[in-house]
Each structure stands twice: as structure tokens, then as C-alpha cells.
Structure 1
Amino acid sequence: MRAGIAFLVIAYMLSQFYRAFLAVLSPVLMDELGATTGDLARASGLWFICFAAMQLPVGWALDHLGPRRTAATLFLIGGGGGATIFALAQTPGAITWAMMLIGIGCAPILMATYYIFARQSSAAIFGTLAGVTVGLSSLGNILSATPLAWLIAAFGWRATVGGFAGLTIVIALAIALLVRDPEKPAGEAKGRLSDLLRMPQLWPILAMMFVCYAPAAGLRGLWISPYLADRFSADLAQIGNATLVMGLAMVAGNFLYGPADRLFGGRKRPILIGNAIVALACLSFWLAPPQGFGMAIALFALIGLCGASYPLVISHGRSFCPPHLTGRGVTLLNLFGMGGAGVMQFATGPTYAALARNNDPATAYGTLFGLIGLIIIAGLALYLWAKDSTG
């Protein structure tokens, strides 16, 4: 099982890579395929939408088929197949279809890992395990930054993405061979998704899930690249280094949030504080736009660091889910997290296009990021009503 968990972590590292690699690939995709920021925002948003849409069937599959078959099958067909289509793409439309397939393929990986943790460890340490898993997997963010820029410069973007397609297929086969499904207690109760939706303590947490991941995912996954290019004329190497810094901040954030529930005596307070900082950082692009390249990167890094509350929010929601609904509980939470990121990313393309028609880049990007900050504040207002948990 240790080897199986290791390959699930590597698979989720690739999931982190795929959701973020458009930020570095965008200049070459614009040059060679004629893709626009709107095309890439749509493709990125649909990755998250497809990922989110798969969460309910993935939850059913985890509870009925187990994590091994669920994760290996989807990651092989969707992840490996989608990356292959991406490497062969000739149009922006093909990129969109490839990203949708990759999103479907990556959908079960983290939830399969969380399902195993929830079945085999206590609720008290679930948040730490979840944070460490996402923290280690966030190295995929690092891989999709400066190292990806180096690989593209050395081998071209098609050969690079094709290589990752092959790696994805190998990892999927390793999951099929090495992951072991945890045993279920005899006579365990049956349940339905509607049982979770009737739990009022989950709704404020679902609202927080909807907004907490979207800023870091959207800015790191796409918008940091055109922002730095349009505002500061950054080249590919500079964009790679900037995304690397933000990616490292996200890795650090995941490790910091992991034990935060024990340090603060509950999960609610660190989630509120961290996301309030993210909201203020996003609003600062609007109200006091950074005047230098370094200050802009510092703000992006702050958003990455404090915007990594995703595993702690899932841990908060998971603490209220009964054991027999573990699979559907964590995937319902993940649906809101990834769905929120997808909806926000999908909406940012046309929103920026409308803003850019009558404003300079600093104003257009600043307003866009400021609107994201206001959405986070709305989510925090609902989350204030959440019941805290420590176990």
C-alpha cells in the first residue's frame, strides 16, 4: 500500500502539473496555433469543470468499486489519452478537448488517496495527511514552471507534452498494480448523496470550498503569464521563474495548513485568516497596482501561500461525514472546490476581454483580480456561519 500511495501522490503531482502548465505554454500556443487568452482561459476552465463534474460519479465508484480501479482506469484513458491529443493538437479547439479529457482523467486521483486515508487513519490526523499529500504533489506546480520552460526550449512543446503523456500512462499502470482497496467493515450502513445534502453544517463549508481554491489555481494556472507579459514585457524565462516562485509558495502553504487545525485549536480560524489575506492581495491589484515586477511576483506568491487552504477545508467538511459516505463526502467537497475554480476561470476570459476593450492592462487586470477578491469575501461571509471542528 505504501508503494500504491506513492504512485497516487506522483499521479496527483501530474494533475497539478496539467492544471498549471498552460501558464508557461501559452506564449508558444499563441504563436503556433493562434490561441488567444480567451481560448486558453476556456480550456483551463473546462479542465476544472470536467474535473468537478466527475466528482459525483467518482464518489459512487470509490464507495462501490474502490480506489484502485477508479483511479487507474480514468487516469490511463483520460490523463494519458488527453495528453497525447494535446501533443498532437493543430488548433485551439483540440487543446480544449485535450484539457477536458485530462481533467476527467485527473478527477479521481486525490479523492482516491483521501478515501484510503479516511478509511485507514483517524479524523484527527486526516488534515495533516491531506496537507502533506497536496504539498508533495504541488511539486507538479514547480515542474510546470521553469523546468517546463527549459524542456520546451530544449525539445519543443510537442515532444515535451508527449513525454508527459507517456509518463502518465506508466503511472496509471503502476496504480493498477500496486494500490490496494481498504477493507470495509462487515454490515456497514448504506447511504446516499442526499443524506449529505441534508446536513446543514456542510453548506457553509461548501461555500468556502467554492471560492478557496479558485484564486491560486486561476492565477497560477493561467493569468500570471499574460499579466506579466502585458504589464512588464516578461519573456518566457521570466514567466517561468515567476510561476516557479508562486508554485513554491503554494507548496509551502500546503505544508503550513496541514497541522494548522492543531496549532489553532480548530479548522475554522486558519481558513478565515488565510483566505482574508488572499482577498486583500487580490484587491491590491485593483486598488494599488504593483509598479514593479518584483512587487507583482511577491503578491502572486502571497496568494499562493495563503490560498492553499483547500486540504484543510476538505478536512473540515470531511469531519462531519459518516464513514459509509466517505467517498461521496470528499468528492462532494471536491466538486465544489474544483467547480468553483472552473466557473471562475471560465468567466475570467470574457470578463477580461470586456475590461481590456476600454482600459489599459494595469486597470483591466487589476479590476479582474479585484473582482476575484470580492468573490472570496462573499464566500468568507457565508463561511462565518460554519460550525468549527477539531476531531
Structure 2
Amino acid sequence: MLLALICGFALSQAFRTVAAILAPPLQQDLGLTPQQLGLFAGVFHFAFGGLQLVMGLSLDIWGPRRTVLTAFPLTIAGAAMAATSNGFTQLLLAQFVIGVGCAPAFLACTVFISRRFEAQRFAVVNGAALGIGSVGLLLTGTPLAWVVEQWSWRAGFVMLGILACAAWLAIAFLVREPPAAAGPRPAVWATLRGYGELFALPHTWGIVALGLFTYASFLSLRGLWLGPLLVERHGLSLVQAGNVALVVSVMGVFGPPLFGRIDPGPRTRRQWIVACTLTVAVLYGVMAFSRQLWLDVAIAVLASLMSGYGTLQYADVRSAYPARMMGRAMAVFTMAMFLGVGVMQWSTGLVAAGMRGTGIETYEAVLAAIALQLVFAAWAFRRLPAPKHAE
């Protein structure tokens, strides 16, 4: 059942990273500017992140299976809309619809794991789920680049839409709710009040502050700027850039299980999280001023591996709240992560557009901006209150 749910998450991973490969053909075909590319990549995450509270409510009341089966057909519809788009506005609408359809994909996996596995196994199992789900990133490397070069960017959306259909069918036939889900459901209003209780806890704000920037930094690179950087800074072809994206994505498969297994536990986990965040900030700072292809590729690969420390953040959330709040707590954290991705992709698009005519290289400014945001995130997480277990 978990593997079936991960299929939906994997397709969500694929859809959220299409911009890295589709950016060059979209610029050529539709004449998109860097600012429009940033908005194209970000609108998925605005839709995805903005609905996390609603999805957390649905997961607590109706369970993962019903929630995903209800929302995911919008992913398929959005892919069809994107494949037939004739302009930027239609493309944005399609991205928004896809983001809505994918909104419960990973949260459903996380809530399923928190309910079906004991707390001490959460980091390991959730890390494995993140790793397996990252296979979706492989689709938007060489395979998507090959499809685009052979046919068009529209064919790429068709391919992903067909795979989304297969994922929906797997969930429909294989996933079943536990017996407890057939019992009395919590009232909607009582569940909504639980969000107020969640935000009243001081340590929620540190978790949210960090969540806004960490995953966003990796998705802004892998999901938007990696392809254009390799094509424009180093002169690679689209398939060559896709090959690099594939290698980066493969490393992303190993990161979450690795960090899940080396999870140090609640006493020192938050120090690890801060250290990892600052390490990634340094990597992006070096990449900003690099002009060597081998170094840019090496840093992208290492950043992909390091992104697996998000498993530690999920484990921190898992141990910071009682079981009755878990669906909503995971929803709030996931909302912060993906709204952060949307904001970072959109804002770095503004940075890229603002560099025209200044003499400063676009990717130098973009990557430096990401590095500075990570430093701020680590500082805020360290300074804001910690949950009692970590004090």
C-alpha cells in the first residue's frame, strides 16, 4: 500500500521539476522571460503548498486513500491542459491545476507511515519513502529531455499524464484504509480549531521558518535553474543537461534513506539540521561564483545528496507534536516547504530578470540569493523556541 501511495508522490516529484528541462524549449516556443519561467515553476508550488492545510484536514477525517483518489485526477487533467496550451496564461493555469491534484501526494505517505509504523522507525521508513519517491526526479532528467528533443515539450506533459493515470489506478486497487478509519470521524470544525492550537505552540514558528527555505533551495536548483545554467553558462545541449539532471536525481534517491539511518535522535537532531543547512548554503555560495563545469556538476550532485536531511526535519516534526495533531502538523510543515519553493522560484526569477544589463551573471546572483536565504533560515531556526524534547 505504501509503494502505491509513493507512486503518486513520485509523479508529484516529476511534475514539480519539469521546468528545469522545459525552460529552454518554452523560451524558444513561447518566448518566456526568466521572470515568467520563475512564475511557471513556482505556481505549482503555490497551489500545492496553499492546499496543505486542507489536505491535512482531509487526511485526518477521511484518510489517505480517499483524499488522494479525489484530488489526483486533477493532475491528469492539468497535464492535458498543459499539453494543449497556446500561451503563457493557459500554461500557468495548467500548472496550478496540476499542483492542486498533487497536493496530498507526499503528505498522504507521511501520515500513512506515522499511523502504520512505530515512532522509532519513522525516520527510517519515511526516509526510504522519500528516496523511492525521488525516482520521479529521474523522469525529468534524460527521459524527459529525450522526449522533448524527439517530439516537443507538449509530448513531455502527455507522457507524465499517462504515468499519473497508472499511479491513480495503483492507489485505487491496492490501498485500503485501516479498520480505525471506519470509526467515528472527528468533526471538521474541531479539526480546524486544531490548527489554531498548533500555531499557538511557540516551536511551530521555528519549524515553519526553516521549512520555508531548505527544500526550496534544492527545488529551485533542480526544478528550475539547473537546466538553463548548464545550457547557458556551459553550452551543453538539452540532452546533455538532462543527463546531468539524471545523475543529480539519482543521488537524491540515496539522500533521504541515508539521513534516515543516521538520524541522531531528538537530543542532537536540531544541531544536525542547522549544520546541514549552513553546509548547503556554502555549496550554493561556491557554485554562484564557479565557472567550471565539473565543479558546478559536483556541487549539484552533492546538494542533491544533502537534500536528504529533510528526513531529519520530518522526524523533528514527528517528535514535536502529539499523535492526535500529526496530520495537521505534517500539513503545516509541508505547506511551509512548498509555499517556500513557490516563493523562492518566483523571487529568483525576479533576481534573474533584474540582472539584465548590470554586468552580473544571472546564475551568480540567483545562487547567491539562495545561499543567503539558507543562512537566514538556519539563524531563525536556531533563535526561535525549540520543542521541549530538544531543549
Alignment TM-score, normalising by the size of structure 2: 0.92
**Take 1:359 and 1:140, find their aligned partners in 2: how far apart are those partners?**
37
Q: Which residue of 1 aligns with 2:46?
A: 49
Q: Secondary structure of 1:309's match?
A: helix
Unaligned runs of 5+ in 2: none
Instruction: Using the TM superposition, give the Cα deviation of residue 160 of structure 1 relative to its aligned residue in structure 2, in angstroms.
Output: 3.3
1:68 to 61, 65, 70: 65
Q: Secondary structure of 1:248's match?
A: helix
Letter in 1 for 2:201: M
Instruction: Using the TM superposition, give the Cα deviation of residue 184 of structure 1 relative to its aligned residue in structure 2, in angstroms.
Output: 3.6
**Take 2:248 and 2:132, find their aligned partners in 1: how far apart are those partners?**
15
1:89 to 2:91 alignment? no
Cα pair distance change 1:199/1:19, threshold 3 Å: same
1:371 to 2:369 alignment? yes
Letter in 2 for 1:375: Q
Conserved 8 A contact 1:9-1:137: yes
Q: Which residue of 1 aligns with 2:259?
A: 257
Instruction: Using the TM superposition, give the Cα deviation of residue 181 of structure 1 relative to its aligned residue in structure 2, in angstroms.
Output: 1.9
Aligned alpha-carbon RMSD (Å):
2.1
Letter in 2 for 1:132: A
Conserved 8 A contact 1:146-1:243: yes
Instruction: Using the TM superposition, give the Cα deviation of residue 36 of structure 1 relative to its aligned residue in structure 2, in angstroms.
Output: 2.5
Q: Which residue of 2 aligns with 1:293?
A: 293
Cα pair distance change 1:367/1:153, threshold 3 Å: closer
**Take 1:37 and 1:249, find their aligned partners in 2: how far apart are those partners?**
27
**Take 2:233 and 2:185, find their aligned partners in 1: how far apart are those partners?**
58
**Take 2:48 and 2:34, find their aligned partners in 1: how far apart are those partners?**
21
Alignment of 1:146-161 (within 5 A): 146-161=142-157
1:210-254 deviation per Cα after TM superposition (whole angstroms, max 9, x unaligned):
111011101100111122222112211221122122212222222
Q: Which residue of 2 aligns with 1:206?
A: 208
**Take 2:337 and 2:240, find their aligned partners in 1: how far apart are those partners?**
30
Conserved 8 A contact 2:252-2:305: yes
1:20 to 2:17 alignment? yes
1:239 to 230, 238, 241: 241
**Take 2:282 and 2:41, find their aligned partners in 1: how far apart are those partners?**
24
Q: Which residue of 2 aligns with 1:38?
A: 35
Alignment of 1:68-217 (within 5 A): 68-76=65-73, 78-184=74-180, 191=191, 192-217=194-219
Instruction: Using the TM superposition, give the Cα deviation of residue 91 of structure 1 relative to its aligned residue in structure 2, in angstroms.
Output: 1.2
Conserved 8 A contact 1:267-1:389: no
Alignment TM-score, normalising by the size of structure 1: 0.92
Identity %: 30
1:118-169 deviation per Cα after TM superposition (whole angstroms, max 9, x unaligned):
1111121111111111111111111110121122233433233213212212
Conserved 8 A contact 1:218-1:341: yes
Letter in 1 for 2:135: L
**Take 1:333 and 1:133, find their aligned partners in 2: how far apart are those partners?**
17
Number of corresponding residues: 382
Unaligned runs of 5+ in 1: none
Q: Which residue of 2 aligns with 1:281?
A: 283
1:334-362 deviation per Cα after TM superposition (whole angstroms, max 9, x unaligned):
0111111111111111111112331242x
Instruction: Using the TM superposition, give the Cα deviation of residue 263 of structure 1 relative to its aligned residue in structure 2, in angstroms.
Output: 7.6
**Take 2:184 and 2:202, find their aligned partners in 1: how far apart are those partners?**
27
Q: Which residue of 2 aligns with 1:10?
A: 7
Cα pair distance change 1:295/1:203, threshold 3 Å: same
**Take 1:263 and 1:205, find their aligned partners in 2: how far apart are those partners?**
16
**Take 1:353 and 1:222, find their aligned partners in 2: how far apart are those partners?**
14
Conserved 8 A contact 1:41-1:345: yes
Cα pair distance change 1:252/1:110, threshold 3 Å: same
Instruction: Using the TM superposition, give the Cα deviation of residue 13 of structure 1 relative to its aligned residue in structure 2, in angstroms.
Output: 0.8
Q: Which residue of 2 aligns with 1:352?
A: 352
Conserved 8 A contact 1:46-1:100: yes
Q: Secondary structure of 1:38's match?
A: helix
Conserved 8 A contact 1:151-1:160: yes
